[in-house]
Amino acid sequence: MLTKAAASVSASVTAATATYSSSKSLLSLNQSHQLLCLKRLSSSHSISALGIKWRISNFRYNHKMETFRFTTKASAQPLKNADELIDSVKTFIFDCDGVIWKGDKLIDGVPETLDMLRSKGKRLVFVTNNSTKSRKQYGKKFETLGLNVNEEEIFASSFAAAAYLKSINFPTDKKVYVIGEDGILKELELAGFQYLGGPDDGEKKIELKPGFLMEHDKDVGAVVVGFDRHFNYYKVQYGTLCIRENPGCLFIATNRDAVTHLTDAQEWAGGGSMVGAICGSTQREPHVVGKPSTFMMDYLADKFGILKSQICMVGDRLDTDILFGQNGGCKTLLVLSGVTSLSMLQSPNNSIQPDFYTNKISDFLSLKAATV
């Protein structure tokens, strides 16, 4: 039996759907308000049926089909049998910050866990939204931390930006303006693209004198925005001019992460803050190539010939890592060693539920031992 609160939610959704079906004009007049109400209902109420807790989530309005639909997702379960999960997949995709390391500090038990998975013949791939480094630079970081990881196993959003441009046959006679750091520049260079901006524009300033008009390169065909510790008004204006005034100029974001781990002491404003500034000035939404976009998942599946159903995505963020795995049709494991706490996962306001959760990836070892 449904609880009274759940029955009320169900009745509200049914009534709204009936209202839409019988009077399309009412939706047109007050569509945004009705959708907002339904989204709030879907994200804030739980249904308990047959002793199983379910959360209404992922409400969508399909304009073409002119129908409402929502799906239910079972609440995440604590990982109890590591062997069962390990045996069910062939590839593990790991996020880095908050999973493998925090800042420049390796998380306990990581080397032994990776060695165990490799000994079982599992393919390991490391995917990070951090665009400040190239794959080669990340390879050096893994090496510094004592981890033996091949460059071909590393996929950073800096690489994803260059790979995306190659995938759409971006003209090599066009230029890319970069709001970001060295990692993006190195990957663009390796892919054979011309670029400008990046760290070189970090010290540039604009003198706002009467009648001053800022010039920009008319050959810029794409603006790539990533995390940038030298973000300034010059870059905002230059990128804005390119996107708004150069015909067909692309707006690409490496990611929209709200926060990042620059140190292990606290959270810092992430690449999403830089992307948000350009969204505000251009009134355009970017094409995101990092998580949770499926671009990197599709790229990996094609490159390695991996079936997505045989992949497990392991991450510490719900709205990037776990959503990335779910969007790609993979199994998902949330670790609580990064930005997401157990209370955040179990909050009634959270609609993103992984298949499993555990404290850290080294639980693969302890849970494995416990089940023998």
d(CA 170, CA 187): 14
Q: CB of 239 within 8 A of CB of 179? A: yes
Asked if 97 is an active-site residue, the reply is: yes
Q: Find the angle CA(265)-CA(268)-CA(270) to the nearest 5 degrees.
A: 145
CA dihedral 141, 144, 145, 149 (to 10 degrees): 60
Asked if 298 is an active-site residue, the reply is: no
Q: How many CB atoms lie within 10 A of CB 95?
A: 25
Residue 210: burial class (beta carbons within 10 Å; 0-12, 13-18, 19+): exposed
Catalytic residue among 97, 201, 355, 363: 97
How far does Cα 221 stand from its chain's mean position? 24
Q: CB of 92 within 8 A of CB of 59? A: no
Catalytic residue among 83, 87, 95, 104: 95
Q: CB of 169 within 8 A of CB of 221? A: no
> Helices H, strands E: what count in the chain?
13, 19
Q: Which residues are catalytic?
A: 95, 97
